[in-house]
A and B are shown apart, each in its own frame.
Chain A
Amino acid sequence: MKQNIQLPEGSMEKQTTTLNLGPTHPATHGVFQNILEMDGERIMDAVPTIGFIHRAFEKIAEHRAYYQITPLTDRLNYCSSPINNMGWHMTVEKLIGAKLPKRVEYLRVIIMELSRIADHLVCNSVIGVDTGAFTGFIYVFEFREKIYEIFEEVCGSRLTTNIGRIGGFERNFTDLAFQRITAFLKEFPKAMKEFETLFTRNRIFMERTMGVGGIDADRALNYGFTGPNLRATGIDYDVRVAHPYSSYEDFTFTVPIGTTGDVYDRYLVRNEEIWQSLSIIEQAMDKIKDLDPSVFHADIPDFYLPEKADVYTKMEALIYHFKIVMGETEIPVGEVYHSVEGGNGELGFYLLSDGGRTPYRLHFRRPCFIYYQAYPEIVKGMMLSDAVVTMSSLNLIAGEIDA
């Protein structure tokens, strides 16, 4: 017990408690520390400290060739790493001015929307866990596993995917991958409906989440909120619509918005986005049926690593392979900002190139780093248990905050 609050002269002595929530508390789902100033069970003040898993990605990126930076982006928001990977590929493609075939862009959309579903599933089911309902988490996690199986089939890995290359994918989608996507589209809606039945109109869940952790639209904008957390406050800013990339303009989908910006609205917005993502994947699967099934990368031999078999047998492929790996390709000098709608907001890449092998400077605009600073303002005056729910509903990912 320690007295930390300066009271005006003559006021009644009051004892507050300093409580360390985290860095390794089971309720924080990651490495977060909050030094809370508690009056009984009510939070008077919170000071978030971050940087526990800081890995200096921006510094490392200045010493890595462009194609070697993709694995770094995996480790930002590791719940939806394919979105990060493709955001990075698209940034470099914007820098070099590469035009991608439609099929590649649609395949990317499929993968990105699948990872958005996985990301939202984790977040929403964990809100359930933190309010005391473990069941929903178990119901939908089977499908997160199925999404990871699709990633595994496409790129070979599951969590930190390193999926795709600058210019497309490293290999074409197999038949099995398409079968798995189709099976997922068929089976998942049932589980999702069951999940919604469990939570959405559940009295206990509503009592625990409605009016908790709310923020109004003005403050949210001032704090740089993006993604579902901003949309829950009633602002329909979605990077997929505002600054379309990867042919998102070809798809029909709605951007769900909330009104109060509280935990319940965030939950509803994410749930609706899962349904919208499903519809986008269905549209994309339809669209690629008419396109040449052998196309899976752009024709940019200067930047796209040739197939290994060709490297051993063809001279051009060997030359390109050597030039790409040794960093001999001409990268234009330029200044690019590209952003994608990540699982929890606008993930931006600010890339400065001086024409060298590595970026001159690379800055990641990490959505949850930016909106986590609103956390003290949101939780002030709340009960401790509500602060935990608020934290999980903000979809904070330690890897992204700390970069």
Chain B
Amino acid sequence: MTNEEIKQKLTDKFGELVYHFEEPYGMLTFETETNNNLKVMTFLNDDADLAFTFLNDLTAVHYPDNKGKELAVVYMLQNIKKSIRIRLKVFTDIQKPDVFTASNLYSTANWLEREAYDFFGVNFVGHPNLIRIMNVDEMDYHPLRKEYPLEEQTRTDKDDAMFGR
């Protein structure tokens, strides 16, 4: 099964709801509408030919300049028999970062979504236990967003302007 065939199957099924097909370094990457992610993943999971039954990885990325679509949730699915990986992205508004949870489909997603919530504040709708996983519960921000610099801003003893930190 080639990337072209997967792309064909997806466009046959979802038409214009799946778009931006790319193949960076050989891995088929595409986007879908925010509220369509579960439908696409269920199709990829259930279709006997595609059989992307293994959620390899799930993470989020913050693009502050992408107004209205600041947060990307990146799913990486794998057909474990044929060793094919694909990447699915959904973009969501940082003001209302609601994305449907994949944890009912893949148990893997449970903690990975908690991690994405913890660090980026993506609100996974329907998640059974969406609480922070790494950071303390009292934390009131999502530290991997780009607006938070790495080092404490009150420090004056370090001048790293030269090194672009």
Chains A and B belong together in one complex: yes
Chain A residues at the B interface, C-beta cutoff of 8 Å:
50-51, 54, 56, 58-60, 62-63, 94-95, 219, 221-224, 235, 237, 242-243, 326-327, 334-337, 346, 348, 350, 352, 357, 360-361, 363, 365, 369-370, 372-374, 402-403
Task: Evaluate contact between B133 and A370: CB separation under 8 angstroms.
Answer: no
Contacting residue for A50 out of B55, B87, B133, B150, CB 8 A:
B133
Most buried by A among B57, B76, B110: B57
Task: Evaluate contact between A350 and B57: CB separation under 8 angstroms.
Answer: yes
Nearest A residue to B132, CB-CB? A51
Task: Evaluate contact between B57 and A363: CB separation under 8 angstroms.
Answer: yes
Distance of B108 from chain A, by nearest CB (Å): 3
Bound-complex Cα distance A242 to B27 (A): 14
Most buried by B among A94, A235, A352, A403: A352
What is the predominant secondary structure among interface residues of chain B facing chain A?
mixed
Q: Which residues of A contact B107 (CB under 8 A)?
A: 219, 222-224, 373-374
Task: Evaluate contact between B56 and A60: CB separation under 8 angstroms.
Answer: no
Total A-B pairs, Cβ < 8 A? 88
Distance of A3 from chain B, by nearest CB (Å): 22
B125 at the interface (CB under 8 A from A): no
Distance of A223 from chain B, by nearest CB (Å): 5
B30 at the interface (CB under 8 A from A): no
Task: Evaluate contact between A346 and B80: CB separation under 8 angstroms.
Answer: no
Bound-complex Cα distance A58 to B85 (A): 23
Query: Interface size (B, Cβ < 8 Å)?
Result: 35
Q: Which residues of A contact B25 (CB under 8 A)?
A: 94-95, 334-337
Bound-complex Cα distance A352 to B115 (A): 18
Q: If A222-B108, A327-B164, A334-B25 touch, does A56 touch B143 (CB 8 Å cutoff)?
A: yes
- Give chain B interface residues in 73-117, CB to chain A under 8 Å: 74, 76, 80, 83, 85, 87, 106-108, 110-112, 115
Distance of B136 from chain A, by nearest CB (Å): 8
Task: Evaluate contact between A334 and B108: CB separation under 8 angstroms.
Answer: no
Bound-complex Cα distance A59 to B62 (A): 12
Task: Evaluate contact between A235 and B80: CB separation under 8 angstroms.
Answer: yes
Q: If A94-B25, A221-B80, A336-B24 touch, does A51 touch B134 (CB 8 Å cutoff)?
A: yes
Bound-complex Cα distance A334 to B144 (A): 20
Task: Evaluate contact between A350 and B74: CB separation under 8 angstroms.
Answer: yes
Q: Which residues of B contact A221 (CB under 8 A)?
A: 53-54, 80
Q: Which residues of B contact A357 (CB under 8 A)?
A: 164
Task: Evaluate contact between B56 and A224: CB separation under 8 angstroms.
Answer: yes
Q: Which residues of A contact B54 (CB under 8 A)?
A: 221, 224
A to B CB contacts below 8 Å, 21 in the list: A51-B134, A54-B135, A58-B119, A62-B150, A63-B165, A221-B80, A222-B108, A224-B107, A224-B108, A242-B83, A243-B83, A327-B163, A334-B24, A335-B25, A348-B56, A361-B59, A361-B61, A369-B111, A373-B110, A373-B111, A374-B107
Q: Which residues of A contact B112 (CB under 8 A)?
A: 370
Nearest A residue to B85, CB-CB? A337
- Give chain B interface residues in 23-73, CB to chain A under 8 Å: 24-25, 27, 29, 53-57, 59, 61-62
Bound-complex Cα distance A58 to B24 (A): 22
Distance of A95 from chain B, by nearest CB (Å): 8
Q: Which residues of B contact A94 (CB under 8 A)?
A: 25
Bound-complex Cα distance A374 to B103 (A): 13
Nearest A residue to B22, CB-CB? A335
Q: Which residues of A contact B163 (CB under 8 A)?
A: 326-327
Bound-complex Cα distance A269 to B53 (A): 24
Nearest A residue to B24, CB-CB? A335
Distance of B109 from chain A, by nearest CB (Å): 9
Q: Which residues of B contact A224 (CB under 8 A)?
A: 54-56, 106-108
Q: If A62-B150, A374-B107 touch, does A337 touch B57 (CB 8 Å cutoff)?
A: yes
Bound-complex Cα distance A223 to B106 (A): 7
Bound-complex Cα distance A180 to B76 (A): 41
Q: If A336-B25, A370-B108, A373-B107 touch, does A59 touch B83 (CB 8 Å cutoff)?
A: no
5 shortest A-B CB distances, which residue pairs?
A224-B108, A51-B134, A242-B83, A363-B59, A54-B134
Distance of B5 from chain A, by nearest CB (Å): 19
Q: Which residues of A contact B24 (CB under 8 A)?
A: 334-336
Given A59-B144, A95-B25, 16 further pairs, Cβ under 8 A: A51-B135, A60-B150, A62-B150, A222-B106, A222-B107, A222-B108, A223-B108, A237-B80, A242-B80, A346-B56, A350-B59, A352-B61, A361-B61, A361-B62, A365-B57, A374-B107
Q: Which residues of A contact B59 (CB under 8 A)?
A: 350, 361, 363
Q: Which residues of A contact B85 (CB under 8 A)?
A: 243, 337
Bound-complex Cα distance A50 to B114 (A): 12
